[in-house]
């Protein structure tokens, strides 16, 4: 299950079976200085340059994670709804990019605003006619509703797209920078994710409507008394979160293999990021995503890829046990 990235962004013999997330890479032209034990009878040599390259790859991966988690975190902050269908919105964004590229011949970068607009509209419909009905209800109601949406969307996608893995071979190859081979597609994806995340953060902090979103997330009743249309804010926030998920999905399609079942895997990572950074903390989620990306790639390099797939859930359990509010969250 190879991703669409070309060889050259990680040291030799670096593998992953995590839905094609990490592929075989070319050799590193540096003397190897250490030996690391993986499993009984299996060894890998590593140099400082190897480790640095793995860390940088993790940071680039974390940027895409951050964009995806930002949408989920914003939705929860405003509506106190855990959207279990968020991963499927990402998946639909990824397939939008794939089909516009494969069948329409569009440049994958040009498909990003199209995917975002499509999921923004889908988010409006979902929130207006479904999610709005469980606002203020017990948490289980929203969990069951969004889980049902997730299952429905995944089933429809499997029926329409089949379970085959697909990818968008775009910007293959790598850039050699100070002896490090950096994937072109990852660099572009990280740059776009960082820009979109930054614009979203500025919008929430500085714009009038962004301040209305923040006021609603802090105290909806007081915001309504002050004249803020809380229902309109909830509607726009859910749609914004869906659009962010779609953009992340488009970026994922340009880097990794995609399938209809990819959403729940990324959703688990997003939960770990939000818990790590702190619920409702935009900056915390961003930093948490970078930390998780680095932890995953280091775990895959020094142990096995099977163990690396469990890193997000290990982080989730550890943080919930030691610091439930996260590193940047506020205890309620």
DSSP 207-238: SHHHHHHHHHHH-HHHHHHTT--HHHHHHHHH
CA distances to 15, 95, 266 from 76, rounded to whole Å, are 35, 25, 17
For the ranges 57-61, 125-129, 226-230, 301-305, the lowest mean pLDDT is seen at 301-305
End-to-end CA distance of the chain: 44
For 174, counting Cβ atoms within 10 Å of its Cβ (0-12 exposed, 13-18 middle, 19+ buried), the class is: buried
Q: What band does 62 get if pLDDT is binned at 50, 70 and 90?
A: very high
Query: For 199, phi and psi rounded to 5 degrees?
Result: -65, -40
Model pTM score: 0.84
- Residue with the larger pLDDT of the pair 253 and 303: 253
- pLDDT over 60 (residue 5): no
pLDDT at site 3: 46
The helix (H) or strand (E) run that includes residue 37 is strand 34-39
Longest dimension (CA), the chain: 67
Question: Domain spans of the chain?
Answer: 34-322
* DSSP for 48-115, written as a single string: HHHHHHHHHHHHHHHHHHHHHHHHHHHHHHHH----TTHHHHHHHHHHHHHHHHHTT---HHHHHHHH
Q: How far is CA 308 from the centre of its chain?
A: 16
- 34-322: which CATH number, 1.10.3470, 2.30.29, 1.10.10, 2.60.40? 1.10.3470
Question: What Cα–Cα distance (Å) separates residue 302 from each residue in 11, 30, 63?
Answer: 12, 18, 22
Q: Token digits for 27?
A: 């050799």
pLDDT tens figures, 271-303? 999 888 877 778 888 999 999 999 999 998 888
Give the contacts of 269 (CB within 8 A, at least 6 positions apart). Answer: 65, 68, 69, 292, 312
Distance CA 32, CA 248 (A): 36
At 331 the pLDDT is: 55
**Mean of the per-residue pLDDT values of the chain:** 84
Does residue 26 have a pLDDT over 50?
Answer: no
Q: How many Cα neighbours within 13 Å face the side chain of 207?
A: 9
Say if residue 42's pLDDT is above 90. no
Average pLDDT over residues 38-65: 76
Dist CA 161 CA 96 (whole Å): 11
HSE of 246, CA atoms in CB hemisphere, 13 A: 24
């Amino acid at each position: 299950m190879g991703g669409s990235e070309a060889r050259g962004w990680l040291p030799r013999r670096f593998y992953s079976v995590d839905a094609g997330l990490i592929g075989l890479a070319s050799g590193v032209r540096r003397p190897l200085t250490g030996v690391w034990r993986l499993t009984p009878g299996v060894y890998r040599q590593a140099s400082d340059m190897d480790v640095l390259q793995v860390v940088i790859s993790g940071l680039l991966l974390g940027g895409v994670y951050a964009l995806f988690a930002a949408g989920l975190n914003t939705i929860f902050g405003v509506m106190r709804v855990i959207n279990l269908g968020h991963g499927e919105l990402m998946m639909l964004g990824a397939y939008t990019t794939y089909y516009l590229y494969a069948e329409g011949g569009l440049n994958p970068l040009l498909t990003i605003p199209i995917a975002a607009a499509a999921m923004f509209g889908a988010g409006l419909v979902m929130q207006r006619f479904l999610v709005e009905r469980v606002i203020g209800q017990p948490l289980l109601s929203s969990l069951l509703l969004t889980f049902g949406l997730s299952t429905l969307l995944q089933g429809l996608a499997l029926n329409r797209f089949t379970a085959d893995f697909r990818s968008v071979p775009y910007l293959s190859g790598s850039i050699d920078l100070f002896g490090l081979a950096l994937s072109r597609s990852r660099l572009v994806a990280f740059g776009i994710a960082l820009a979109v995340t930054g614009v979203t953060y500025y919008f929430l902090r500085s714009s009038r409507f962004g301040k209305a979103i923040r006021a609603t997330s802090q105290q909806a009743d007081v915001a309504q008394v002050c004249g803020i249309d809380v229902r309109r804010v909830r509607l726009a926030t859910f749609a914004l979160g869906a659009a962010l998920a779609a953009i992340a999905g488009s970026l994922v399609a340009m880097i990794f293999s995609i399938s209809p079942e990819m959403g729940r895997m990324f959703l688990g990572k997003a939960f770990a990021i939000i818990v790590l950074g702190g619920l409702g903390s935009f900056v915390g989620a961003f930093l948490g995503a970078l930390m998780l990306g680095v932890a995953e790639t280091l775990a895959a390099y020094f142990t096995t890829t099977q163990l690396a797939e469990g890193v997000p859930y290990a982080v989730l359990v550890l943080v919930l046990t030691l610091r439930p509010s996260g590193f940047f969250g506020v205890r309620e």
